[in-house]
A and B are shown apart, each in its own frame.
Chain A
């Protein structure tokens, strides 16, 4: 199945290069393997992640776009919807079959009409508005809810770190 997946990934890469959405850069880490991408996501403005540049890895399955890619931030990021190890937990990345949190409708899940660009835009909006209903990082969700100031402080440190300063 890798053939059609490859063609599609190539098309997506081309589109993302020619018309990049603001604050997002994505492409294969190494063209020898088109199924492993790196994306840089800029923290959305007017949020506590503003100014940061967060790198993430996207791993595509061989049957892409039938199956969703996996996304994992390769920097430390403290956020209710990101597991402590960096994996991103948003419903668009979940295959229609599985439902880890047991609350999503299949309407919100992965479908082949989704794309890397849409995923990354969803991630940006997730950064802007954490969804603490489905906490992947319970600590972060708690802090976000109970101690917004503290959360923003942590986010500031994250932003600083992500810039390598």
Chain B
């Protein structure tokens, strides 16, 4: 929820951070040294303080000479602590030891609750960490302008504790989201995570109470700063807890929980808005308090303020859109009657769950109330048939954004009006300057299924353009022109391509027809090989299986003979048996999937090798009974070779004639 400044993080990430063990041993050694030093100093002072002459020899620092230890001789430890507090490097050593302890504590929690961290969690943690340090650094030195050592240490302690809790919350959030991705999470994982969250919540509650104490005793400003920070933490933590509870509740329910989406939505909305406003006022307070309108710190704070403001605005806008969608939906689409539900035995197409109540769209499709709403938030068409749902209001209302068209979709969706199905915009840059690109926009409204979209774009525009080109070059097959047009999207460019010989007409035409021939051949050969192999290879059932499966995989994309389709349907059963069961246990499911994958790969490999052996056999003209497949391949090769030879000669002459014609036509056009 804060602006991520990548720069400092990037630099800091490159720092070679020591391993945990090195760091801990280093800290322990430092602490030992510091206490040894303190111990020695206390001893020295106690022993030699009365005798001023010997100090020089011992090399005792000047400032220590004047120190009088506050405690008696007996309280050696307290004296040591005192010395440590006086000496700067000792203070830092102590601070460092505290961090070391904190890190160890964090590690302990991580091991108990989270176990191994995932990469994304680590990444988030790292980002959060550096971001936090960056902003708090600015706060301490830019806003509070802390001068004395004592205060720095105090602030450091505060932010360390806070940061620690923040990071833990972040980790919980990530982990919660991850756990909700899996259907089979053990119960104790949830329990551990939830209890950690509750502990964090409790701690931050205690911290907030502490803030009140500060407010009463020290200063209200500082109270406001501290309270805002801890409030943000509490909000964040509470949000995760609430989401978690909703999630668990939902998972424990069978079937659909209709109003779940609404609960989730409103918790998200409320928490987001509240924390944004708290954060905003916190930053505003910082800006005003610091009295620093022209400094790096104020710049950063202003940036953050701007970011928060936009974020707030965006959220409110989104919510307005949401309300609009809900209102729209409730007014326009009636609930389905019991009859409708009975007639429609299908499940909700969005969530694939059974429908006990549903909304009915004008096109007759039924959906769950909540499913439909969440879809309408981002789009305004029926998910099943893509009928525009907003067109009625769009026509008579024309209010900006009045129909359930949300912000983003509006601009794109608008041009697709059923009245004018085809819009065509074409910009040919090369008309003006040679290096300008040309492009065209084509909007087509088709009811084709997405699977068949490959053909969907072959629309009338393309045909029109092709006709235009063909008027110039009547000899060139339309297919070739279409092919090029699909790329250039410009009549002129295609003509240029033809003129400059970039379109090689005859070879393309031949490969095109050769391809078709190939299809028919292999369909013949496919069936013949199966019959052949099934008759030959009765010794091993596996070999028998391979070419048959080959047929299965013809996905009826290439138009095969009905006989072939029937065959493949017959074989389908043998193939699907490898799929089959859907186990209840996750591990079994996984291993079954794994073995299915393995089997598929194995089969494919065997088939491939089989085919290659055949081909090799054919190329070396082996003594094996020649399969029809290979002979047909030979035939095809011979055929294509001869056709290329025969066409090569007249290709040249035809091309010349074409060029002549085309240039003439172009000249005519230009003079027009």
Q: State whether these chains interact.
A: yes
Chain A interface residues toward B at CB < 8 A: 1-4, 6-8, 10-14, 17-20, 22-23, 25, 27-28, 30-35, 38, 40, 42-47, 50-53, 62-63, 65-66, 90-92, 95-97, 99, 102-103, 105-109, 111-114, 118, 121-122, 124-126, 128-129, 131-133, 141, 145-146, 148-149, 159-160, 163-165
What's the Cα separation between A50 and B558 when bound, in Å? 12
What 1/0 flags go to B612-624 for Cβ under 8 Å of A?
0000000000000
Q: Which of A12, A128, A145 contacts B555 (CB 8 A)?
A: A128
Contact B451 A121 (CB under 8 A): yes
What's the Cα separation between A23 and B579 when bound, in Å? 11
Contact A122 B579 (CB under 8 A): no
A residues near B184, Cβ cutoff 8 Å: 31
Contact B383 A145 (CB under 8 A): no
Q: List 16 A-B contacts (CB under 8 A).
A: A1-B374, A3-B250, A8-B352, A17-B592, A18-B581, A22-B575, A32-B181, A44-B554, A45-B550, A51-B608, A53-B600, A66-B378, A91-B453, A92-B453, A118-B450, A164-B605
B residues near A1, Cβ cutoff 8 Å: 261, 264, 374
A residues near B552, Cβ cutoff 8 Å: 22-23
Task: Give B167-217 interface residues, CB cut-off 8 Å to A.
Answer: 177-178, 180-184
Known: A6-B181, A34-B182, A40-B600. A106 touches B454 (CB 8 A): no
- What is the minimal beta-carbon distance from A42 to any residue of chain B, in angstroms? 5
**What 18 additional pairs, Cβ within 8 angstroms, besides A102-B439, A107-B386, A133-B457?**
A2-B177, A7-B353, A8-B350, A17-B579, A17-B593, A28-B590, A32-B182, A34-B183, A40-B601, A44-B555, A45-B558, A51-B604, A66-B375, A103-B457, A105-B444, A106-B416, A113-B349, A165-B608
Q: Which of B180, B445, B487, B515 contacts A105 (CB 8 A)?
A: B445
Contact B555 A23 (CB under 8 A): yes
The chain B residue sitting closest to A2, CB to CB, is: B180
- What is the minimal beta-carbon distance from A47 to any residue of chain B, in angstroms? 7
Contact B375 A112 (CB under 8 A): yes
Task: Give B330-362 interface residues, CB cut-off 8 Å to A.
Answer: 349-353
Task: Give B493-515 interface residues, CB cut-off 8 Å to A.
Answer: 504, 511, 515
Stretch of B36-44, B52-60, B405-413 at the chain-chain interface: B405-413
Contact B519 A46 (CB under 8 A): yes
Task: Give B407-426 interface residues, CB cut-off 8 Å to A.
Answer: 408-409, 412-413, 416
Contact B553 A45 (CB under 8 A): yes
What 1/0 flags go to B547-581 for Cβ under 8 Å of A?
00011111101100000000010001001100111
Known: A23-B553, A125-B454, A131-B454. A106 touches B383 (CB 8 A): no
- What is the minimal beta-carbon distance from B204 to any residue of chain A, in angstroms? 26
A residues near B350, Cβ cutoff 8 Å: 8, 65-66, 112-113
A residues near B374, Cβ cutoff 8 Å: 1, 63, 66
B residues near A3, Cβ cutoff 8 Å: 180, 247, 250-251, 260
What's the Cα separation between A38 and B379 when bound, in Å? 29
Contact A11 B352 (CB under 8 A): yes
- What is the minimal beta-carbon distance from B319 to any residue of chain A, in angstroms? 16
Contact B555 A18 (CB under 8 A): no
The chain A residue sitting closest to B589, CB to CB, is: A31
A residues near B553, Cβ cutoff 8 Å: 22-23, 42-45, 50
Known: A23-B555, A46-B523, A99-B412. A6 touches B180 (CB 8 A): yes
Contact B601 A163 (CB under 8 A): yes
B residues near A43, Cβ cutoff 8 Å: 553
B residues near A164, Cβ cutoff 8 Å: 601, 605
- What is the minimal beta-carbon distance from B74 to any residue of chain A, in angstroms? 60
Is B430 engaged at the interface, CB distance under 8 Å to the other chain? no
What's the Cα separation between A108 and B375 when bound, in Å? 16
Is B384 engaged at the interface, CB distance under 8 Å to the other chain? yes
Is B443 engaged at the interface, CB distance under 8 Å to the other chain? yes
Q: Which of A105, A112, A125, A146 contacts B446 (CB 8 A)?
A: A105
B residues near A23, Cβ cutoff 8 Å: 552-553, 555
Contact A106 B593 (CB under 8 A): no
Contact B486 A132 (CB under 8 A): yes
The chain A residue sitting closest to B177, CB to CB, is: A2
- What is the minimal beta-carbon distance from A123 to any residue of chain B, in angstroms? 10
- How many chain B residues sit at the interface, stated as a range, is 35 or more
Contact A132 B487 (CB under 8 A): yes
Contact B551 A145 (CB under 8 A): no
Is B222 engaged at the interface, CB distance under 8 Å to the other chain? no
Contact B386 A112 (CB under 8 A): no
Is B128 engaged at the interface, CB distance under 8 Å to the other chain? no
Known: A7-B351, A53-B601, A112-B350. A20 touches B576 (CB 8 A): yes
Is B483 engaged at the interface, CB distance under 8 Å to the other chain? yes
Is B597 engaged at the interface, CB distance under 8 Å to the other chain? yes
Task: Give B586-606 interface residues, CB cut-off 8 Å to A.
Answer: 586-587, 589-590, 592-593, 596-597, 600-601, 604-605
- What is the minimal beta-carbon distance from B427 to any residue of chain A, in angstroms? 12
Contact B582 A31 (CB under 8 A): no
Is B478 engaged at the interface, CB distance under 8 Å to the other chain? no
- What is the minimal beta-carbon distance from A158 to any residue of chain B, in angstroms? 12
Is B530 engaged at the interface, CB distance under 8 Å to the other chain? no
Is B442 engaged at the interface, CB distance under 8 Å to the other chain? yes
The chain A residue sitting closest to B440, CB to CB, is: A103
What's the Cα separation between A38 and B601 when bound, in Å? 14
What's the Cα separation between A160 and B601 when bound, in Å? 12
What's the Cα separation between A13 and B592 when bound, in Å? 13
What's the Cα separation between A145 and B125 when bound, in Å? 49
B residues near A27, Cβ cutoff 8 Å: 589-590, 593
The chain B residue sitting closest to A27, CB to CB, is: B593
Contact B182 A31 (CB under 8 A): yes
- What is the minimal beta-carbon distance from A129 to any residue of chain B, in angstroms? 5
- What is the minimal beta-carbon distance from A162 to any residue of chain B, in angstroms? 8
Contact B378 A97 (CB under 8 A): yes
- What is the minimal beta-carbon distance from A119 to any residue of chain B, in angstroms? 9
Task: Give B524-557 interface residues, CB cut-off 8 Å to A.
Answer: 526, 550-555, 557
Is B299 engaged at the interface, CB distance under 8 Å to the other chain? no
What's the Cα separation between A19 and B557 when bound, in Å? 19
What 1/0 flags go to B143-178 for Cβ under 8 Å of A?
000000000000000000000000000000000011
Q: Which of B351, B511, B558, B605 contacts A165 (CB 8 A)?
A: B605
B residues near A165, Cβ cutoff 8 Å: 605, 608-609
